[in-house]
Amino acid sequence: MVRARRLLGIWRQKDGGCAGGRMSAGKDGPVLAAVQQGVCGVGDSWKSRRIVLGRTKMEIKVGVWRREPAKQAGDLRCLWTWESSGERSRDTVALSPGVTAMLVLLPATMFHLLLVARSGPARLLGPPTYLPGLEELWSPQALLLLFIWLALQVALYLLPARKVAEGLELKDKSRLRYPINGFQALVLTALLVGLGVSAGLPLGALPEMLLPLAFATTLTSFIFSLLLYMKALAAPVSALAPGGNSGNCIYDFFLGRELNPRLGSFDFKYFCELRPGLIGWVFINLALLIQEAELRGSPSLAMWLVNAFQLLYVGDALWYEESVLTTMDIIHDGFGFMLAFGDLAWVPFTYSLQAQFLLYHPQPLGLPMALLICLIKVIGYYIFRGANSQKNTFRKNPSDPSVAGLETIPTATGRQLLVSGWWGMVRHPNYLGDLIMALAWSLPCGVSHLLPYFYLLYFTALLVHREARDEQQCLRKYGRAWQEYCKRVPYRIIPYVY
Ligand SMILES: NC(=O)C1=CN([C@@H]2O[C@H](COP(=O)(O)OP(=O)(O)OC[C@H]3O[C@@H](n4cnc5c(N)ncnc54)[C@H](OP(=O)(O)O)[C@@H]3O)[C@@H](O)[C@H]2O)C=CC1
Ligand SMILES: CC(C)CCC[C@@H](C)[C@H]1CC=C2C3=C(CC[C@@]21C)[C@@]1(C)CC[C@H](O)C[C@@H]1CC3
């Protein structure tokens, strides 16, 4: 039991953490609220921070040295305990059993999608028509292919870059450097694959290998995350992520303990987020298109659209690679199973679902409908790129002529918030554009099945959750200015709806 005493209205723990200010005792107290909201993490020093406790926004003094995992086996909770005037109070965080379930559910969902996409009824919510045996899942060739792919992407990452960008300032005041050569990697991969195909590489056979490839990638992600977890045990406190250090090993394994795990200058998180999975997705789509051409004489219009739309999305992400350095995945989240599996397996094997569906369930698509879908894609991309570029330009150089005329709200940090232009329409115009594009990726698959709309549904949930997390962080960073922004721009993603 951690001992604590009360000092002039400030609660202080001898060993662990401390918080002061208006306090609520008992469950979900301020220390854990602060840690959960990413306001501070293990190793952070004593200072004033803003948190939201229940529905109340408050300012507390809090510092965290250590957290204790709950002692009972299998208990996914983390306790912070302090006492005053003989009374004991406890902060309890329920490290949701959901996390343990997610470790199984995420891969299970991915395999479910792969199986139903090739089944006759293709029912998103129904069971797959058969379950593959281990002999169908395990293939040394698939594992070899995966390692060749990863090695190729590592080699391309290590090639001289047109630019080396600096990341945001870290806790220890240093900045990491990142090569900006993702687009170059995409082009060189395309050239190498093109050469391979003209020399007889059977790319059209890839769809037959999707199941064993997904299995090999899932196994690799588990082992990789385990290695990352062990590596983080030796990392200094300043290198740890705020979210993934509860002391509960399952929770930390899932969320990731270390913020920017590196081997020399090789950054695992940055590499995985943008290279093997994202580029792999494009080539899985291409393989599905080639196989459709082999089966039916030529690729369908629907398959062309899905390939072109998603290639544009991946090309855009790699062209504007530098902007990923300010996403919360890079600056805030640890690198654990969720991101490793998400980047390496989830992205290529579930984001290619529409093309998989089309290979096994050809859909007629007339020219007028195709044109309408292209228009939806163009509108989505226009909003997505317009919003992202406006913010990036403004963050880099607020006096750039393209953004200098926009209305802004000053914040205490010296940074400003855009309150007109795209960012005056809703608080996340880039998410709106992204969702419209997601709709355009599904529409070529027709409306007879729900399965091709899985991405749209999952992505909506992901972005709503992401928006809520970003909101908390902006409230912490910008306080009153953020509240003012929320008043001026009341809708989050969809004007007048949400
Ligand atoms: N396909 C996929 O699976 C996914 C795609 N995405 C896409 O990736 C892109 C990046 O998304 P994400 O990292 O979540 O978030 P954003 O690019 O939306 O960045 C949010 C940050 O922007 C800044 N900001 C917010 N409002 C304003 C404003 N009014 N004026 C100026 N700056 C503001 C704040 O940071 P600060 O003030 O510190 O600059 C805030 O933390 C998006 O386009 C998203 O759609 C994201 C996740 C998954
Ligand atoms: C498996 C889980 C349910 C969720 C895993 C989430 C990851 C797949 C995503 C987290 C943030 C991502 C971003 C992108 C791809 C998906 C992941 C890795 C982009 C690279 C997509 C292209 C955009 O232009 C930028 C995105 C940044 C965030």
Does some domain include residue 200?
Answer: yes
Last residue in a domain, options 84, 103, 131: 84
To the nearest 10°, report the CA torsion of 215, 220, 222, 227: 170
| Residue 331 or 92, more confident | 331
Question: Which bound ligand lies closest to the C-alpha atom of 437?
Answer: 1
Q: Please count the structural domains in the chain.
A: 3
Domain membership of residue 399 as a residue range: 363-498
Kindly give the distance from the C-alpha atom of residue 77 to the centroid of ligand 1, in angstroms, as a whole number. Answer: 31
- Please tell me whether residues 107 and 70 are part of one structural domain: no
82 contacts: CB under 8 Å, gap ≥ 6: 2, 4, 11, 12, 13, 16, 18, 88, 89, 90
84, 119, 147 - which closes a domain: 84
Q: In 3-state terms, what secondary structure has residue 422?
A: helix
Residue 231 forms part of a structural domain: yes
Instruction: For residue 209, give the H/E element and its range.
Output: none
Question: Do 317 and 436 belong to one domain?
Answer: no
Same domain, 313 and 396: no
Contact 186, 314 (CB under 8 A): yes
Domain end, chosen from 335, 361, 387, is at 361
Residue 96: what pLDDT?
56
Q: Residue 432 domain-assigned?
A: yes
Q: Copy the structure tokens of residue 415.
A: 């940074």
Tell me: do 228 and 124 sit in the same domain. Answer: yes
What residue spans of 58-174 are helical by DSSP H? 97-117, 134-137, 140-158
**Does residue 318 sit in the same domain as residue 267?**
yes
Same-domain check for residues 354 and 367: no
85: confidence class by pLDDT, cuts 50, 70, 90:
very low
* Per-residue model confidence as pLDDT tens digits over 118-169: 998 999 998 888 899 999 999 999 999 999 999 999 999 999 988 999 988 8
Whether residue 236 sits in one domain with residue 163: yes
Say which DSSP state 343 is in: I
Do residue 147 and residue 53 come from a single domain? no
Of 348, 362, 372, the C-alpha closest to 285 is: 348
* Interval 26-58: pLDDT, tens: 345 566 666 666 666 655 655 666 766 666 666
How long a stretch of residues is the chain?
498
How many Å lie between the centroid of ligand 1 and the Cα of residue 424? 14
The reply to whether ligand 2 has any atom less than 6 angstroms from the CB of 324 is: yes
Shared-domain flag, residues 326 and 376: no
Q: Is residue 287 part of a domain?
A: yes
How far is C-alpha 243 from the chain's CA centre? 14
Domain membership of residue 389 (yes or no) is yes
Q: What residues does 7 pair with on adjacent strands? A: 10
In this structure, is residue 470 part of a structural domain?
Answer: yes
Q: Which ligand 2 atom minimizes the distance to the CA of 384?
A: 24
In a domain, 135, yes or no: yes
Q: Which residues line ligand 1 (CB under 6 A)?
A: 326-328, 384, 388, 391, 395, 415, 417-418, 423, 428, 430-431, 434, 462, 466, 470, 473-474, 485
What lies within 8 Å, CB to CB, of 393 at 6+ separation is 400, 402, 403
Closest approach atom of ligand 1 to CA 478 = 37
For residues 28 and 168, membership in a common domain is answered with no
Q: What atom in ligand 1 is closest to the CA of residue 459?
A: 3
**Judgement on whether residues 357 and 447 belong to the same structural domain of the protein:** no
351 with 398, same domain: the answer is no
Q: Are 322 and 180 in contact (CB under 8 A)?
A: yes
In a domain, 498, yes or no: yes
* Phi–psi pair at 77, nearest 5 degrees: -135, 160
Q: Which one-letter DSSP state was computed for residue 346?
A: I
Cβ–ligand 2 distance for 273 under 6 Å, the answer yes
**pTM for the full model?**
0.85
Phi-psi region of 376 (alpha: psi -120 to 50; beta: other; left: phi over 0): alpha
